[in-house]
Structure 1
Amino acid sequence: MWVTVAWAAMCLLLALVVVMFVCGFIYRLRVAVVPFEKNMKGKTVIITGASAGIGKEAARDMARRGARVILACRNLVKAGRVADEIQTSTGNCAVLVRQLDTSSLASVRSFAAKILAEETRLDVLVLNAGIAAFKERTVTSDGLELTMVTNHFGHFLLANLLLGLLKSSSPSRIVITASTSHRLARKIDPQVLNFENGNYLSIAAYCQSKACNILVTRHLADILSGTGVTVNSLCPGFVRTEIFEKSNNIAAQAQYYVAPILGKTVEQGAQTIVHLAVSEEGGTTTGQFFENCKVSNRLTSMVSDASLAKKVWETSESCVGLKPEEQHF
């Protein structure tokens, strides 16, 4: 009897694996690919979190198109190796590294100050760095919850600090990596974005940070109306990246091992970032959420709420201590 049960279980497991491989194969077949004929010569691009995953592949793609690419990364040694690799593989020597840790507001301000001192133009700002939430709530030296500041507040501050340069460089673009996991964030209270009320859950923190990415995209698009600067958010899809590997959350770690079977390659995951950075649509459409290189309608009513977007924006200004001289709108 036990032999029969074991055999049945083995057959069921094998069938499940086969189904997963087939689903993954079909998923990858449906990925949109950005045509290569669109070049970016003369353009300057900043990509946060560009030392691995989709950020690295987006940087490689844009370098191959002739852009001057600035890798904004926390680990300079790792980023330096990536820059060398991209230069070698693309033949483009204009791939630079600058230090940025989006979990530190001081690092964000230092990075922005360096960019404003060194750069005369900025054509594309890709806000891509992120982490998967940890099991326990962690607060940074700025008093901000780690997931929220890394994925949302740090990028919110950086976008504000560089808005003046983006506006003077128009037409220009802001591209924000969000996620369809925002759909799991059922409710956002703008007054407790850092989970001060004790209701912290790792999945809630991650999904809320991604929802805030989309809400800020929509509000910022309204603020920038008529300036020549577009801002759009996106979901890269299901991709195996370090964001899952580095988390101590069991669900995130499980995704890391399943993603190679069910998910996209990192090159495929980077395509929507590249689309928004180089396509005509990315330069004319603003305030939208994209999946697979096209506008998505898979948004919850919550992230489509203009009133909530404004409140999240205002709370974010307070949380990062945005100063009058840092406002460029």
Structure 2
Amino acid sequence: MKRRSADGDGVVKFLNLDLSDLQGIKKTAEAFLAAETRLDVIWHNAGVMAPPEGSVSKQGHELSFATNVLGPFLLQQFLTPILIKTAESEDVVKGSVRTCWAASVEFPDPPGEDGIVWDDWALSASEYSGLNGRVQRYVQSKWANAILATEMAKRYPQIVSASFNPGAIKTDLTRHAPGILKSVQGFLSYPVRLGALTELQAGFGGEVAEYNGCYLIPWGKIGSPVPKVVEGIQKRASGERLWNLCDGLVKEFY
């Protein structure tokens, strides 16, 4: 692809970013904004799954929610203006500027009425102890990303926002999980390149532009989130509620 940015040709640049540390995200965003004049697509692809019981972020938040949701949410706030600017440029095809949020598989069922336990989003209650709680924290965080995608589509219609389930992929995502879970995951998983197909479709597929806020399933098809998540978005304004929750948790780092 032809580079359409500030300098160089075909240059890949690395920016250090720890999404579990809200304190450092602004610095990374500012480094990007200082180096680039446009941003066409961003993939929020962070994934921490089933870390050891009691794992927390630098700011003391439950680690899965902090890394998978709060960090990307804060980063997005810094980058939304340049995405809008890019989308409004004369040389940009309508619907080509995207924000893509990594969700997950449709099972197990997420906790809470809307896929979020609002009064205990860290899932600290005793019923969420052990491996079940560790997995549920991951599941909740990933459905939170799907909810944020729909809310962002409402707030910023100039930007196409989509969430995606890349499928069960052979990665080290289960590195913290017990051996039996790793074995099952390895047996049922697909090559990494297949997971990339859904992410690429979210970022570049023409059909996605027609369904702002959509959710993609393997391998790049438009699907539907689990019923409780859909119902929460449509009937109980869970998108706005989650947006406000995240905003309140990260606002001191703007």
Aligned to 2:120: 192
- TM-score (norm. length: structure 2): 0.83
For 1:15-26, what aligned pairs fall within 5 Å after superposition?
none
Take 2:136 and 2:195, find their aligned partners in 1: how far apart are those partners?
23
For 1:65-104, what aligned pairs fall within 5 Å after superposition?
93-104=10-21
What is the Cα deviation at residue 150 of structure 1? Answer: 1.0
**Residue 210 in 1 paired to residue 136 in 2?**
no
Structure having the larger proportion of residues in helix: 1
| Number of residue equivalences | 233
Match of 1:127 among 37, 44, 57: 44
Structure 1 residues not aligned, in runs of 5+: 1-39, 45-67, 69-91
Report if the CA contact (8 A) 2:57-2:67 is conserved: no
Match of 1:237 among 167, 180, 205: 167
CA gap of 1:252–1:114, structure 2 versus 1, over 3 A, is farther
For 1:263-282, what aligned pairs fall within 5 Å after superposition?
263-282=189-208
Report if the CA contact (8 A) 2:208-2:214 is conserved: no
Take 1:304 and 1:157, find their aligned partners in 2: how far apart are those partners?
26
For 1:1-329, what aligned pairs fall within 5 Å after superposition?
40-42=1-3, 93-170=10-87, 171-181=96-106, 184-187=109-112, 188-197=116-125, 199-200=128-129, 201-225=133-157, 227=158, 229-244=159-174, 246-250=175-179, 252-258=181-187, 262-291=188-217, 292-306=219-233, 307-321=237-251, 326=254
Report if the CA contact (8 A) 1:157-1:322 is conserved: no
What is the Cα deviation at residue 134 of structure 1? Answer: 1.9
Take 1:305 and 1:202, find their aligned partners in 2: how far apart are those partners?
23
- Could you give the per-residue CA deviations for residues 238-257 of structure 1, whole angstroms, max 9, x where no partner exists? 1110112x214445423443
What is the Cα deviation at residue 197 of structure 1? Answer: 4.3
- TM-score (norm. length: structure 1): 0.65
Greater CA radius of gyration, 1 or 2?
Answer: 1
* Percent sequence identity over aligned pairs: 25
- Could you give the per-residue CA deviations for residues 109-146 of structure 1, whole angstroms, max 9, x where no partner exists? 22111111111100000111211122402122212111
Take 2:229 and 2:161, find their aligned partners in 1: how far apart are those partners?
19
CA gap of 1:280–1:41, structure 2 versus 1, over 3 A, is farther
Tell me which amino acid in the other structure corresponds to 1:300: P
Tell me which amino acid in the other structure corresponds to 2:98: R
Take 2:210 and 2:173, find their aligned partners in 1: how far apart are those partners?
31
Report SS of the residue matched to 1:144.
coil
Tell me which amino acid in the other structure corresponds to 1:151: N
Report SS of the residue matched to 1:295.
strand
CA gap of 1:287–1:315, structure 2 versus 1, over 3 A, is same
CA gap of 1:181–1:136, structure 2 versus 1, over 3 A, is farther
- Could you give the per-residue CA deviations for residues 224-267 of structure 1, whole angstroms, max 9, x where no partner exists? 12x2x1000010111110112x2144454234432xxx322101
Take 1:251 and 1:209, find their aligned partners in 2: how far apart are those partners?
23
